[in-house]
Amino acid sequence: MAADEAIGEREMDELAELACLYLEPAEKKMLNRRLNALMELLGKIGEVETGGVEPDIHPGILPPRFREDEVEPSLSPGRVFQNSAHRSDSFFRVPSIAGEGPGGA
């Protein structure tokens, strides 16, 4: 990997923000070194001559493992929700993690 393609401080800050991580300066420096080493190794993989190699979507051909469906009685709503602290009709109510949803969360 060329030096101008290295992951810099600005990119590390952006990655940390996207991952919702707070990194101490020492952690950021260590992760930066590791990511750049990884990118260098991935660059070497890109140098491998693959001109005559057919693409393959799976490393091996495995027979599908199907089984017959078996109908079994399911749990009653009362049993399903018996230990739930919060319920809305036939749904579990959980705290929003992505802002307010339809109906004010």
Angle at 30 between CA 28 and CA 36, to 5 degrees: 95
Whole-number average pLDDT of the chain: 84
The SS3 call for residue 91 is: strand
Give 76's DSSP letter: P
Q: Please state the rounded mean pLDDT for residues 75-103.
A: 80
In a domain, 58, yes or no: no
Work out the average pLDDT over 68-89: 87
Return the CATH number at 14.
Answer: 1.10.20
- 61 in any annotated domain: no
pTM: 0.47
Query: Is 103 contained in some domain?
Result: no
Residues 1, 36 contacting (CB under 8 angstroms): yes
The reply to whether 26 falls in a domain is yes
Contact criterion met (CB below 8 Å) for 23 and 16: yes
- Name the residue with higher pLDDT: 96 or 69: 69
Of these ranges, 47-51, 53-57, 93-97, 101-105, the one predicted with the greatest mean pLDDT is: 47-51
Domain count, the chain: 1
Contact at 8 Å (CB) between 31 and 12?
Answer: yes
Distance CA 104, CA 63 (A): 48
> Does 105 map to a domain?
no
- With a CB cutoff of 8 Å and minimum separation 6, the contacts of 6 are 36, 39
